[in-house]
Amino acid sequence: MAPEKPSYRPLHLQIRDLLRARIASGSWPAGAPIPSEIALAAEFAVSTGTIRKALDALVASHLIVRHRGRGSFVASHSRHEALYRWFSIEPDDGRRCFPDDEVLARERGAATQRERALLDLPPDEFEVLRLFRRRHVRGQAMIRDVLVLPSHMFPGFDWPGAQHRFTTPYEYYEGEHGIKVIKVEETVKAELANSDDAVLLGLKAGSPLLTIRRIAMTFDDRPVEFRFSRVRPDGYSYVKRIS
């Protein structure tokens, strides 16, 4: 006999996915209030306990936030807690602080073979946006990076222009282009500083350097941004906590 597909999924999972779809589709935009437990229970004709289990899962995956007495809301990158969520570099003295951006250059061009693959560009799309930055902390150049974006997902892209309204690129993607980054994958390597690193980060060529390649994804693992960072290693570490 051929294996049967599961004919049943728990209600709370079905509801969780339906609610997630509403957030993914943009019908519930970032920051918007969502219906109360009671309203949702009525809409789906289930008990509040089942709704609660679905909402708890969305809280766990950072898709909504809930406040007793106020209601539930679609999570947003503009919340302060979101700032450090994706940023894994910490000074060795423990005093975390978020770097300032300096946009060095911006270009629009044909995607390389590698960029096409990393960003999973559809066959009829060939253009990417590239944003070259330098990032400072306490006045010192700490990171230089390049952000590569699929052009077709960001019509009218204007990050340096919108920088006064949004504190991070992800907040800008979300607020201005309706694209919510929900997952990133970073691979870290050690390399040697080249002459550009020497100039931009004030290092000696040939000194060691941390490099980070990041793929940022939205719903359904769709790539949104590829980022390549080169980090000066003196005084800073890449940190991962596992529990």
Partner DNA sequence: CAGTGGTCTAGACCACACA
Partner DNA sequence: GTGTGGTCTAGACCACTGC
d(CA 162, CA 152): 19
d(CA 216, CA 166): 18
Identify which of residues 27 and 187 has a Cβ nearer to a second copy in the complex: 187
84 phi, psi to nearest 5 deg: -90, 0
Enumerate residues 76-135 that contact a second copy by CB under 8 A.
Answer: 85-86, 88, 90, 92
16, 144, 151, 195 from 207: Cα distances, Å = 49, 15, 35, 11
**Binding segment for a second copy among 14-22, 70-78, 134-142, 189-197 (CB under 8 A)?**
189-197
Among 34, 40, 182, 201, indicate the residue that binds a second copy (CB under 8 A): 182
Enumerate residues 55-114 that contact DNA by CB under 7 A.
Answer: 55, 66-72
The residue count for binding DNA (CB under 7 A) is 26
Residue 221 burial (C-beta neighbours within 10 Å; 0-12, 13-18, 19+) = exposed
What is the contact mask toward a second copy in residues 206 to 235, using x (rule: CB under 8 A)? xxxxxx-x-------------------x--
**Degrees to nearest 5, angle at CA 177 with 25 and 216:** 80
Which one of a second copy, DNA, none is in contact with 95 (Cβ closer than 5 to 8 A by kind)?
none
105, 112, 191, 193, 234 from 208: Cα distances, Å = 25, 27, 6, 6, 9
Identify which of residues 52 and 177 has a Cβ nearer to a second copy in the complex: 52
Enumerate residues 31-70 that contact a second copy by CB under 8 A.
Answer: 61-62
d(CA 223, CA 154): 13
Distance in Å, CB of 233 to a second copy, minimum:
5
Identify which of residues 202 and 208 has a Cβ nearer to a second copy in the complex: 208
Q: Using CB under 7 A as the criterion, which residues of the chain lie in contact with DNA when the complex forms?
A: 8, 10-13, 34, 36-39, 45-50, 52-53, 55, 66-72
